[in-house]
Structure 1
Amino acid sequence: MSRPNAQSMKPATAAKKLDVYLPATPAEFQENAITRAELAALQADPPQWLQDLRKNGPHPKNLVAAKLGVSIAGLGRGGVVDALTTEQISALIDENPPWLIAERENYQAVLTEQRRLKAQRVEGTAREA
């Protein structure tokens, strides 16, 4: 059995690595496997469509959540189920609805607790050594 020279990935995987929303990419990108070399070329010298997607969106949920300062689950609780454009994200930030305020507070509390637990583990490991 021979191994192919170039490893390829599904378009969804490539879109995730490029931080873009797959349905917003060109049909050619969505329909064909992407090699690692092609992905590296897209990252090194992004074509106009990729630059536009990164700048204006629509953005995948992980980026929307990061830009809003909430978790992906928090987006769902807030009723955001679709990808958002940069303009829509800015409008949400300007509007600052009650759910967004609550989710930001909740997310910050979770991050604080994660940092506390990590510090506690590091301290415990240091004591054992």
Structure 2
Amino acid sequence: MTSRKTPQTMKPATAAKKLGVYLGATPAEFQEGVVSRDELNALQADPPEWLRELRRNGPHPRPVVAAKLGVSIGGLARGGITDPLTTEQINAIKADNPEWLQRERATHAEVRKEAARQKNQQG
């Protein structure tokens, strides 16, 4: 009795997170189905046009927005950014360089610096 191995699948939200895209902006067939590990690997290896477009122009999920702005996700919330943003909107925030962004970038840099210091002490 050999059991057949079923392919590992994930919810669309999980796949979108792994792909670094905002689920609400993905095509309906992506949102409504399940994604196998092989399908995810194929999307990462050879992204279709819709995926390339989302990665290029957004809207981007909060972790991507935070990374592009150089702040933490908490810093985004403190700055009043709670919705996904497009690349154009992110670039506008960078160009304006508001006080909250400057403050959060400094805080984020300090946190990273402290984390690196602690890691060096442990190792």
If the length of structure 2 is used for normalisation, what is the TM-score?
0.95
Residues 29-82 of structure 1 deviation map (CA, whole Å, 9 limit, x = unaligned): 001010111111111111111010000000111111011000000000000000
Q: Distance in 1 between matches of 2:63 and 2:53?
A: 18
Q: In structure 2, what is the equivalent of residue 127 of structure 1?
A: none
Say which SS state the counterpart of residue 106 (structure 2) adopts: helix
SS at structure 2 position matched to 1:59? coil
Q: Equivalent residues in 2 for 1:80-119 (5 A)?
A: 80-119=81-120
1:38 maps to 39
Aligned to 2:24: 23
Matched, 1:72 2:70: no
**SS at structure 2 position matched to 1:84:** coil
Provide the C-alpha distance between the structure 2 equivalents of 1:87 and 1:114, rounded to a whole number of angstroms.
32
Which blocks of at least 5 consecutive residues in structure 1 are unaligned?
Answer: 123-129
AA at the equivalent of 1:10: K
The 1:38–1:77 alpha-carbon spacing in structure 2 relative to 1, beyond 3 Å, is same
CA RMSD of aligned residues (A): 1.3
Q: Which runs of 5+ in 2 are unaligned?
A: none
The Cα shift of 1:3 comes to 5.5
* Matching residue's letter, 2:89: Q
- Cα distance in 2 for partners of 1:45, 1:22 equals 19
Q: Partner of 1:51 in structure 2?
A: 52
Distance in 2, Cα, partners of 1:60 & 1:38: 21
Please report how far the alpha carbon of residue 5 of structure 1 lies from its aligned counterpart in structure 2 after TM superposition.
2.2
CA distance in 2, matches of 1:38, 1:4: 16
Regions of 4+ moved over 3 Å:
none
Shift of 1:4: 4.8
One-letter code aligned to 2:66: A
User: What is the TM-score of this pair, normalised by structure 1?
Assistant: 0.90
